[in-house]
A and B are shown apart, each in its own frame.
Chain A
C-alpha cells in the first residue's frame, strides 16, 4: 500500500516540476496561464491524495474552495491579455511588441 502511495506521489511531483518548467519557460502569457491552471488542478489532486494517505477528511473544504475560485485567476488574466491586444491594435502597435507578456 505504502509503495503504491509513494508511486502516485512521485508521479505528481514529476508532473508539477514539468509544469513549473513550462510556467517559467513561457514563452507567452497564455502558455503561463494554462500552466498555472494545471498546476492549481494538480494542487487540488495532491490535497485529495494526502487525505487518502493520512486517512483524514479535514482538507475537503480546502478542495471545495480551490475548485470554486480557480476560475477567477484565469478569467482575470485572460481578460487582461485580450484587452492589452485590442488596445495595442487601436494605437497602431503590432502585437509582436508585447510577446514578453
Chain B
C-alpha cells in the first residue's frame, strides 16, 4: 500500500465522518426544534449533502469511476423527490394546524386559504398586517378550528 492509497482512504473515511455528523445534526435538530417546519429544515441536511459525501467516499475507497456513475441515480432520485415530499409534509402540517403562525414572518398561504373559504392558521401573519377581522371571516357554518399548535417538548 503506497502513501497515496493511505491518503485516499483517510479522505474517504473523513467524508464518511462528515456525513455522519450531518446526520447527527439533523437528529439533534429534530429533537430540539419546536415546530414541524423547523424540523423539516433540519431534516434536509443529510438527505442531499450527506448522500453525496457517502457516494464520494465509496467511489474513492473503490477507486472506481464505474461505482460513481452507478451511484449518480441515487443522488438524482433524492434531488428530485426530496423537495416533493418535503412540500407535501409541510402542507399537511399546515392543514392540520400544527404550525405556529406567530413564528412565521410571511404566511403566503393564508390569504389563498381564506379565499377558498377555509380558515388559516390561528395567529397568522395577516392579522398583524390587516388587523383582526380582515380578510373576510370564513363561513360561520364551518367553524374555524381553534386548535392551538402542538407544543413541542
Instruction: List chain A positions with a Cβ less than 8 A from chain B.
Output: 1, 4-5, 7-9, 11-12, 14-16, 18-19, 21-22, 25, 27-31, 33-35, 37-38, 41-42, 44-45, 48-49, 51-52, 55, 57, 60, 63-64, 67-68, 70-71, 74-75, 77-79, 81-82, 84-86, 89-90, 92, 94-96, 98-99, 101
Interface residue B10 (Cβ < 8 Å from any Cβ of A)? yes
Whether the Cβ atoms of B147 and A38 lie closer than 8 Å is no
Q: Which of these binds chain A: B20-28, B104-112, B123-131?
A: B20-28
Whether the Cβ atoms of A52 and B61 lie closer than 8 Å is yes
Q: How far is the CB of A87 from chain B (nearest CB, A)?
A: 11
Interface residue B73 (Cβ < 8 Å from any Cβ of A)? yes
Contacting B23 at CB < 8 Å: which of A4, A30, A41, A70?
Answer: A41
Chain B, residue nearest A88 (CB): B145
Q: How far is the CB of B112 from chain A (nearest CB, A)?
A: 15
Chain A, residue nearest B77 (CB): A67
Contacts of A99 in B (CB 8 A): 150
Whether the Cβ atoms of A12 and B20 lie closer than 8 Å is yes
Report Cα–Cα, A50/B28, bound state, in Å.
Answer: 23
Report Cα–Cα, A19/B16, bound state, in Å.
Answer: 19
Report Cα–Cα, A79/B84, bound state, in Å.
Answer: 12
Whether the Cβ atoms of B145 and A4 lie closer than 8 Å is no
Q: Which of A37, A45, A92 has the most CB of B within 10 A?
A: A45
Report Cα–Cα, A90/B143, bound state, in Å.
Answer: 9
Report Cα–Cα, A44/B19, bound state, in Å.
Answer: 11
A-B contact pairs, 19 of them (CB 8 A): A1-B10, A8-B17, A11-B20, A14-B24, A19-B26, A25-B153, A30-B92, A34-B36, A38-B23, A41-B46, A45-B19, A48-B58, A49-B19, A52-B12, A64-B74, A71-B81, A71-B84, A74-B88, A95-B145
Contacting B36 at CB < 8 Å: which of A28, A42, A44?
Answer: A28
Contacts of B26 in A (CB 8 A): 15, 19, 38
Whether the Cβ atoms of B96 and A30 lie closer than 8 Å is yes
Q: How far is the CB of A40 from chain B (nearest CB, A)?
A: 9
Q: A11-B24, A21-B31, A27-B153 are in contact. Are A41 and B50 (CB under 8 A)?
A: yes
Counting from the closest, the 10 A-B pairs by CB-CB distance are A4-B13, A11-B20, A74-B85, A48-B54, A18-B27, A71-B81, A78-B88, A15-B27, A81-B92, A30-B93
Q: A31-B39, A48-B54 are in contact. Are A37 and B85 (CB under 8 A)?
A: yes
